[in-house]
Structure formats: C-alpha cells, structure tokens
Amino acid sequence: MAKRGRKKPRGRLQKSIKKVKQETWTTIVLAFIALLALCFSIDQGCETRKYYRLSTIPKLKFYTQLSTEEKDIGVFVENVGLGPASIESIVIKVKGKYHEISSLDEVMEAGYELGLKRYPFVARNYFKGIFLKENERSPILIVPIKFIKNNNELEKIRDTFRKMEIIVKYESIYGMEFTSTSF
C-alpha cells in the first residue's frame, strides 16, 4: 500500500512526456497539420483530374438528312459530346457484310452494295486518328441531289441510308475508348 503523502510512481512514458517542452509539441502539431493539408491537396488534385476527364468525353451521333444547303443527301456523323473524338475505325454493315471505311475501295464496295451504283456518290475516308471537334459534323456517304430524278428516288435513298448500320470506335483525348452504333 502506498503511504499518504507519497507520490504515485509514474511510468517511463509519462516521465518522457513531461520532459518534452511546449515548443516541441507545437512543432509536432504543426507538422501534423501540414501533412493533413498535403493529403487534402493531393485528394483535390485527383478529383480535379477526374472532373477534367469527364468534362471532355466525346459522343458521336449518326443521322441521315439533306445537307444544310440541300445540295445532297447523306449519312453524317456529328460529335455532340464535350470534347474531341479521335476516330479509330468506322465500319459499315451492309447486308450482313462489314466494310471498314479506311480505303476508297471499301467505301465504293459498300456504296455499290447499298444500291448506289447509278448515283455518283461521295465518301470520306476515315483514317485512324482523324479528329472530330465538338459540334463538328462530317459526312460518311453523300449522294448529290442533282442526280436524283424525283422524290421517290430520294425517299428510297434515305431509307437505304437508314437501314445500314455504322459502327465507330473512337477515343477521347485522355485515351478512353468508346464504341457507337447508328440507328
């Protein structure tokens, strides 16, 4: 039993804590606060980077229409997303057969299978890495209106374009890969 008046024995930790000066405690607390601020900054940097990635996602939309000047009818692709799209490949499926739009021969073959032999159609080649800016529209296949004799032929071509399936593989500027299909 401990006698009255006698102090209780203290452990080593308690003795060493008592010896630490107030300046040292202040330094330790400040270093801890600085470390927390650094962790918070790193976290905010990661969140900002994630936000920038999401804010530049492209989105491709396909449609068949008369051009703005109504000089031709065609199938167009438009980037309606928030950032540029790097086109990796465009494939047109016609009557169960796939045609990659990377060479003029493939484009011509796809056009012929669509029944566009008698029309002088125009096609754009899409080589790997072509960029579509946001809100940029680009034709895939176009038939000039001046070669179409009447409204029945115009509707037939429009229906033909609507029936074909287009598959596009593209990337954002951050390398995220996407695939879009038409209609």
pTM > 0.85: no
Residues 108 and 165 in one domain: yes
50: tokens are 């994630």
DSSP secondary structure string for all residues of 99-121: EETTSHHHHHHHHHHTT-TTS--
Neighbours of 40 (CB within 10 A): 10
Instruction: Give the Cα-Cα-Cα angle 172, 177, 180 (nearest 5 degrees).
Output: 95
The predicted structure's pLDDT at residue 67: 61
Task: Write down the mean pLDDT value for the chain.
Answer: 80
User: Do 66 and 122 sit in the same domain of this protein?
Assistant: yes
Domain with 25 in it: 12-54
5: in domain: no
Same-domain check for residues 26 and 116? no
92 lies in the same domain as 37: no
Does residue 118 belong to any structural domain of this protein?
A: yes
Q: 83 lies in a domain?
A: yes
Cβ atoms of 76 and 161 closer than 8 Å: no
Model pLDDT, residue 39: 93
Residues 44 and 104 in one domain: no
Q: Does a structural domain hold residue 7?
A: no
pLDDT of residue 7: 60
Instruction: Work out the average pLDDT over 14-31.
Output: 76
Q: Check whether residue 80 and residue 115 sit in a common domain.
A: yes
Q: Note whether 163 and 75 are same-domain residues.
A: yes
**Tens-digit pLDDT profile for residues 94-108:** 878 888 877 777 777
CA dihedral 26, 27, 32, 38 (to 10 degrees): 130
Same domain assignment for residues 94 and 36: no
Number of domains in the chain: 2
Residue 64 lies in a domain: yes
**Residue 37 shares a structural domain with residue 126:** no
